[in-house]
C-alpha cells in the first residue's frame, strides 16, 4: 500500500459478537472509543492568561444557566463525620428509619425551615440505614435555594457513575440517561440490592420527580423548605429542637473548645433563654455557642442581653429560620471582626467561589495570601461555626451562611478577588492538562508529579472548574471562560463527563466570539465539535468542525487545520459518509507529515484505520494500524498504544489470523494493566478469550472470559458482562458440555434483557434455541 492509501484502527465486531472498539482521540485530534461514536480531542490553546474583570454585583447572583453535572456521594459509616455534633432527634430518626423499611412509602419528604437541621438529620439517617441498602446510599445536594438550582439532567450521569455504570455505558442524551438510570435501579431491585437516595435542598417537585425510584424496594429521602407536590410521598415535618436538646447542643459545642466551661451549667435559665432566642435552630445555636467559646469571659446572660437589644433577633422573630440565622450571623461576624479581622474579611470572599466546596489554596487565592495563612483563617471561621470542613478536607458554606456573608461583599474587594481566583484555576488547570497530555520523558509541572496527581486534582475540582467557566462568562471575564474551558477538555473526554464537556466547550466558543479572537474561536469550535460528536449530534459537529477548519486556514495555522480535518473525518464517519471521512483523514495526515508532527501522524493513521475498518477494508486497516502503533511506541504514548493493539487484534480476528490476534490482545491486556485502564483491560481479556477459543485453546479462553466477567460484574456493566458470558459459551461447549454453554447463554440473555439490548438478546435466544 502506498503512503496515500491510508487506513484506520477500529475493531469491527469479531466473530463472536464482542462488539467494536476503536482507537481514537488521545492527544489533540484522535478518536478512541466505540466505533463511529467517540470524538477527537482538543486543540489546546497556548495563549497567556489575562483578563480585566469588572464584576460589580454579578459575583454570586446571576441568571440561571445550564449547570455542571451534580456531585453525588456515597454515604457509609466511614463517611459520617465523627466530629459532627448530632444531638437529639432520636424519635425522628426512629420514625424515618421505619419509613425506609420494605413495604413503607417510597418517598419521604423531610420539611422544615432553613437552619432547622434537615440535612444533618437526613445524612444521619442515611448513614444509620446504609447496612439495609445493599445497592448503596447516595447523597446529592440539589441547591434548590441557590441562584442556579440543580436540574435532573445534571444528576443522571453522576448517579450512573456512582452506581458503577462504565463511562462509555452512559448515553449522551439526558432522556436516554434517565432510561438507563431507571433500568439500573430495576436491575438492582431484582438482585435484592436496595438503593436509598438522599436528595437534599429541594425547592420544587420538578427537581426530583424524574430522579425518584420507580421500584418499590428503593427509597428516597427528600429535604425541603416547601410543600412539594409529589404524589404518594409521606411528608415528615421537622420541628425545632426540644429545649433540653437545644441546651445540650449549646453545651456540647462549648465543650468541644473547653470541656471545663461551666457557664451553661451555672446559668441554666439564661442558657434556656439563649436557645429560645435562637429559635432552637441548630445552625443559630452553633453560631451563638461559638461566640461564647471565643469569649470565655462573656456570661450567657450577657450574650442574651446583646441579642435582645434593639435590632437583635428576639423571640418574636423565631418563626423564620433565615431571619434568625441572619441576625445571629451578624452578631457573630461583627464580633469576629474585632478579634480576627482577616478571617472575618475572608468570609464574604468565599462566596465568590462557584463550586459546592473549595480547597484551601482557592481560599488563599481569594485572599491574596499563602495557603498556610489561609488555612489558619479558615480554621478560625470553622471554630466560629461559620464554615464547615468536609470529610475530604475541603471547605463548605451552609447556604444560609453564604447568603448572609454575601451581603458583606463589596465590588471593591470582589473584583480583584475574583480575578485572583480565576487566575489560580486557569494556571492549575493548564498545569494539570500539561501533565495529563505529557509523553514519557517530557518535562512536567512540579505541582503534578504524576498523571494520577493531575487526575486526582481534576476529579476534586471538576464541578468547580466547570462552574467557573459559566461564572467567568457571566461576569464578562471571557478570556478566563475560554482558557479554563479549553484546558478542561482533555480531562473531561478521558473521564467521559459529557454533560460538563458540552457545557465548557459551548461557553468557551461563546467567550471566544466575544473576545473577537480568531485563534481562540478556531480552537473553541474545534473542541466544541469534538464534544458534539461524542453526543452523537453529528450535523452540529460537522458544522463546528468546518467553522474551525475555515478559521485555521485563514490564520495559516496548519497544525490546527490538520486537527480540524481529523475531527471532521470522525464526525463524517458518524453520519456514515465514509468516503468523505477518508478524504478528511488523508488531508490531516498530509498536513501532519509536512509539519513533521509524529504524534499527529500516529493519530491520523489511527483514525484512518478506524474509517477503513468501518468500510470492511481490513487489510488496509491493519496496515494503517501498524503504522500508528509504530508511531505511538516512538512517542511513548502507552495508553494509545494499548488501544491500538486491541484494535489490531480485532482486525486480525476478522481475517481469521488468530495467532496474530492472540499476540495483539495479550499486549493490549498488559499495557492496559500497566496504565491502569481497568475497563479496557477487561474488554481486551474478553477479546483475547475469543481469539484463544478460535485457536482451540479452550481452557485459556475460559479463564480469559472469566477475568472479564469478574470485572464487569463488579462494576455493574450488564451489557459488557453479557457479551463476555455470550463469548464464554462458545468455549464451554467444546471444552466441557453443551449444558454449560447453554447456562452461559441463559446468563447472557438475562443480562441483555436487564440492559435493554433487544438485538443482542434476540441473537442470544437464537443460539439457545439452536446450540
**pLDDT score, position 629:** 93
User: What is the per-residue pLDDT across 244-298, written as a single tens digit (0 to 9) for each?
Assistant: 999 999 999 888 888 888 899 889 999 999 988 888 888 888 888 888 888 888 9
Domain ranges of the chain: 37-59+413-575, 72-237
- Comparing 370 with 225, the larger pLDDT belongs to 370
User: What is the per-residue pLDDT across 597-646, written as a single tens digit (0 to 9) for each?
Assistant: 998 999 899 999 989 988 999 989 999 999 999 999 998 888 889 989 99
Which H or E run contains 72?
A: strand 72-74
Residue 562 and residue 590: Cα distance in Å, rounded? 8
Above 70 in pLDDT, residue 584?
yes
**Range among 1-15, 211-225, 288-302, 477-491 with highest mean pLDDT value:** 477-491
Q: Report the phi/psi class of residue 320: left, alpha or beta, with left for phi > 0 and alpha for psi in -120 to 50.
A: beta
Above 60 in pLDDT, residue 12?
no
User: And the C-alpha cell for 678?
Assistant: 481497568
**pLDDT score, position 230:** 84
Residue 729 and residue 632: Cα distance in Å, rounded? 35
Mean pLDDT over each residue of the chain, to the nearest integer: 83
Is the Cβ–Cβ distance between 659 and 695 less than 8 Å?
Answer: yes
SS3 196: strand
- Return the percent helix, strand and coil in the chain, to nearest 5: 60, 5, 30
**pLDDT score, position 311:** 53
User: What is the per-residue pLDDT across 532-565, written as a single tens digit (0 to 9) for each?
Assistant: 998 889 999 999 999 999 999 999 999 999 999 9
Domain range 72-237, its CATH number among 3.50.50.60, 3.40.50.300, 2.40.33.10, 3.40.50.970:
3.40.50.300
Q: Residue 671: pLDDT band by 50, 70, 90 thresholds?
A: very high
Q: Is the dihedral of CA 423, 479, 463, 435 positive or negative?
A: negative
Q: Report the phi/psi class of residue 517: left, alpha or beta, with left for phi > 0 and alpha for psi in -120 to 50.
A: beta
**pLDDT score, position 11:** 26
**pLDDT score, position 439:** 61
User: What is the per-residue pLDDT across 494-538, written as a single tens digit (0 to 9) for each?
Assistant: 787 888 999 999 999 999 999 999 999 999 999 999 999 988 899
Residue 569 and residue 589: Cα distance in Å, rounded? 11
Point out the least confidently predicted range of 21-30, 116-125, 255-264, 335-344.
21-30
Q: Residue 321: pLDDT band by 50, 70, 90 thresholds?
A: low
Which 3-state string (H, E, C) describes 420-463? Answer: HHHHHHHHHHHHHHHHHHCCCCCCCCCCCCCHHHHHHHHHHHHH
User: What is the per-residue pLDDT across 33-88, written as a single tens digit (0 to 9) for each?
Assistant: 222 222 233 333 333 333 333 333 333 333 334 568 888 988 887 665 544 678 88
Is the Cβ–Cβ distance between 479 and 504 less than 8 Å?
Answer: no
Above 90 in pLDDT, residue 172?
no
Angle CA 41–44–46, to nearest 5: 175
Residues contacting residue 468 through CB under 8 Å, at least 6 positions apart: 354, 355, 421, 422, 425, 480, 484
Section 107-113 average pLDDT: 85
Q: Kind of pairing, strands 234-237 and 195-202?
A: unpaired
Percent of the chain with pLDDT over 70: 88
Biggest alpha carbon–alpha carbon distance for the chain: 94
Section 98-122 average pLDDT: 85
Q: Residue 323: pLDDT band by 50, 70, 90 thresholds?
A: low
Query: What is the third-level CATH fold of 37-59+413-575?
Result: 1.25.40
Residue 501 and residue 537: Cα distance in Å, rounded? 14
User: What is the per-residue pLDDT across 396-447, written as a single tens digit (0 to 9) for each?
Assistant: 888 888 888 898 999 999 999 999 999 999 999 999 998 877 765 567 778 8
Residue 649 and residue 659: Cα distance in Å, rounded? 9
Residue 338 and residue 501: Cα distance in Å, rounded? 45
User: What is the per-residue pLDDT across 19-29, written as a single tens digit (0 to 9) for each?
Assistant: 222 222 222 33
Section 203-219 average pLDDT: 89
Distances (CA, A) of 681 to 39, 625, 659, 737: 21, 19, 19, 28
Section 157-180 average pLDDT: 83
Above 80 in pLDDT, residue 242?
yes
Amino acid at each position: 500500500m502506498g503512503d496515500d492509501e491510508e487506513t484506520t484502527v477500529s475493531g469491527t465486531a469479531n466473530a463472536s459478537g464482542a462488539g467494536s472498539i476503536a482507537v481514537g482521540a488521545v492527544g489533540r485530534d484522535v478518536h478512541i472509543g466505540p466505533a463511529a461514536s467517540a470524538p477527537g480531542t482538543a486543540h489546546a490553546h497556548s495563549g497567556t492568561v489575562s483578563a480585566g474583570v469588572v464584576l460589580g454585583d454579578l459575583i454570586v447572583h446571576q441568571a440561571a444557566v445550564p449547570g455542571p453535572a451534580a456531585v453525588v456521594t456515597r454515604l457509609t459509616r466511614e463517611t459520617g463525620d465523627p466530629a459532627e455534633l448530632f444531638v437529639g432527634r432520636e424519635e425522628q430518626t426512629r420514625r424515618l428509619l421505619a419509613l425506609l423499611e420494605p413495604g413503607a412509602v417510597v418517598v419521604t419528604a423531610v420539611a422544615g425551615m432553613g437552619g432547622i437541621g434537615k440535612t444533618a438529620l437526613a445524612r444521619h439517617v442515611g448513614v444509620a440505614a446504609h447496612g439495609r441498602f445493599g445497592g448503596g446510599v447516595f447523597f446529592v445536594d440539589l441547591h434548590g435555594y441557590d441562584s442556579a438550582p440543580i436540574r435532573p439532567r445534571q444528576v443522571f450521569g453522576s448517579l450512573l457513575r456512582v452506581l458503577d455504570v462504565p463511562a462509555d455505558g452512559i448515553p449522551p442524551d439526558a432522556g436516554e440517561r434517565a432510561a438507563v438510570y431507571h433500568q439500573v435501579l430495576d436491575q438492582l431491585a431484582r438482585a435484592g440490592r436496595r438503593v436509598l437516595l438522599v436528595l437534599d435542598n429541594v425547592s420544587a417537585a420538578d427537581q426530583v420527580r424524574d430522579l425518584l425510584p420507580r421500584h418499590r424496594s428503593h427509597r428516597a429521602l427528600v429535604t425541603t423548605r416547601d410543600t412539594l407536590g409529589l404524589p404518594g410521598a409521606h411528608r415528615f415535618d421537622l420541628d425545632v429542637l426540644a429545649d433540653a436538646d437545644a441546651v445540650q447542643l449549646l453545651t456540647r459545642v462549648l465543650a468541644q473548645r473547653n470541656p471545663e466551661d461551666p457557664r451553661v451549667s451555672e446559668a441554666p435559665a439564661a442558657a434556656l433563654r439563649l436557645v429560645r432566642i435562637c429559635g432552637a435552630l441548630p445552625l443559630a445555636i452553633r453560631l451563638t455557642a461559638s461566640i461564647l467559646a471565643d469569649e470565655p469571659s462573656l456570661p450567657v446572660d450577657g450574650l442574651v442581653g446583646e441579642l435582645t437589644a434593639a435590632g437583635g433577633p428576639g423571640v418574636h422573630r423565631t418563626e423564620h429560620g433565615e431571619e434568625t440565622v441572619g441576625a445571629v450571623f451578624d452578631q457573630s461576624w461583627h464580633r469576629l471582626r474585632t478579634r480576627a479581622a482577616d478571617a472575618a474579611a475572608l468570609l464574604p470572599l468565599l462566596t465568590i467561589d462557584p463550586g459546592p466546596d473549595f480547597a484551601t489554596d482557592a481560599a488563599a487565592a481569594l485572599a491574596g495570601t499563602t495557603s498556610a495563612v489561609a488555612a489558619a483563617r479558615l480554621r478560625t471561621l470553622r471554630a466560629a461555626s461559620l464554615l464547615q470542613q468536609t470529610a475530604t478536607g475541603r471547605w463548605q458554606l451552609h447556604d444560609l451562611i453564604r447568603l448572609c456573608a454575601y451581603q458583606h461583599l463589596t465590588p471593591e474587594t470582589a473584583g480583584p478577588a475574583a480575578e485572583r481566583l480565576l487566575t489560580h484555576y486557569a494556571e492549575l488547570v493548564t498545569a494539570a492538562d500539561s501533565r495529563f497530555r505529557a509523553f514519557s520523558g517530557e518535562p512536567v509541572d512540579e505541582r503534578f508529579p504524576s498523571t494520577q496527581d493531575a487526575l486526582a486534582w481534576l476529579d476534586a475540582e471538576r464541578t468547580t472548574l466547570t462552574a467557573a467557566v459559566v461564572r467567568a462568562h457571566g461576569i464578562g471575564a471571557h478570556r478566563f471562560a475560554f482558557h479554563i474551558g479549553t484546558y478542561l477538555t482533555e480531562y473531561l473526554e478521558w473521564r467521559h463527563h459529557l454533560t460538563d464537556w458540552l457545557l465548557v466547550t459551548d461557553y468557551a466558543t461563546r467567550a471566544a466570539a466575544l473576545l473577537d479572537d480568531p485563534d481562540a474561536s478556531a480552537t473553541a469550535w474545534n473542541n466544541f465539535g469534538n464534544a458534539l460528536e461524542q453526543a452523537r449530534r453529528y450535523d452540529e459537529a460537522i458544522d463546528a468542525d468546518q467553522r474551525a477548519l475555515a478559521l485555521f486556514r485563514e490564520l495559516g495555522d496548519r497544525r490546527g487545520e490538520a486537527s480540524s480535518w481529523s475531527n471532521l473525518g470522525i464526525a463524517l464517519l458518524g453520519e456514515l459518509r465514509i468516503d468523505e471521512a477518508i478524504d478528511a483523514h488523508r488531508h490531516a495526515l498530509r498536513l501532519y507529515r509536512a509539519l513533521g508532527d509524529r504524534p499527529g501522524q500516529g493519530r491520523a493513521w489511527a483514525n484512518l484505520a478506524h474509517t477503513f475498518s468501518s468500510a470492511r477494508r481490513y487489510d488496509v486497516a491493519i496496515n494503517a494500524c501498524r503504522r500508528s502503533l509504530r508511531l505511538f511506541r516512538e512517542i511513548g504514548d502507552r495508553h494509545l498504544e494499548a488501544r491500538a493493539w486491541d484494535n489490531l487484534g480485532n482486525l486480525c480476528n476478522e481475517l481469521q489470523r488468530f495467532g496474530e490476534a492472540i499476540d495483539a490482545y495479550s499486549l493490549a491486556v498488559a499495557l492496559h494493566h500497566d496504565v491502569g485502564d481497568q475497563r479496557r483491560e477487561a474488554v481486551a481479556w474478553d477479546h483475547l478469550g475469543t481469539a484463544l477459543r478460535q485457536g482451540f485453546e479452550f481452557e485459556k479462553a475460559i479463564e480469559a472470559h472469566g477475568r472479564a466477567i469478574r470485572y464487569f460484574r463488579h462494576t455493574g456493566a450488564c451489557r459488557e458482562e453479557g457479551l463476555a458470558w455470550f463469548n464464554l459459551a462458545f468455549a464451554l461447549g467444546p471444552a466441557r458440555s453443551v449444558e454449560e454453554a447453554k447456562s452461559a447463554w441463559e446468563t447472557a440473555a438475562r443480562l441483555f434483557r436487564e440492559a435493554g439490548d433487544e438485538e443482542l438478546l434476540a441473537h442470544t435466544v437464537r443460539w439457545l434455541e439452536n446450540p
